[in-house]
Amino acid sequence: MGIGLRSTKPLSLPTNRGIWKRDPRMSLYCNLKNGSEVTVTPTGDALRLLLSRVENAPVLLDSEANIAFLCREIGLRLFSFLLKPKEELDIKLSLAAVGVGSLIDIGMQNWWEHSWALM
């Protein structure tokens, strides 16, 4: 239970001193605007389709196009956890350069396991 988490000031204002506003664990709350609901998008159909094909034919991972697609999908999920805009995604950056910490690592691991469990 939490009391007093809601702020009347927008989170983007420097005068908003909420200590949790940059915490990835509060990302859903940060995206709430005027009572609107936030939906978490499930794994995309294209990713699910590729994963099911790779399970039957691992040689598909040798394709440059499939590697690029997987890198982009993983990067997009990572950026959603980090609350970063997808336009800044650069798959050539190291995880440390992007800002991945242990909490993000756990979230990514759970997402990856969930993606395979859906198949």
Count of the separate structural domains present in the chain: 1
- pLDDT for res 117: 64
Average pLDDT over residues 82-96: 87
Buried b (16+ CB within 10 A) or exposed e, 36-63: eeeeeeebeeebeebbeebeeeeeeeee
In-domain check, residue 68: yes
In-domain check, residue 18: no
Q: For the segment 36-72, what is each residue's pLDDT rounded down to a tens digit?
A: 443 444 446 787 788 788 888 889 889 899 889 988 9
In-domain check, residue 17: no
C-alpha distance across the termini of the chain, in Å: 35
Q: Which domain covers residue 104, as residue numbers? A: 45-117
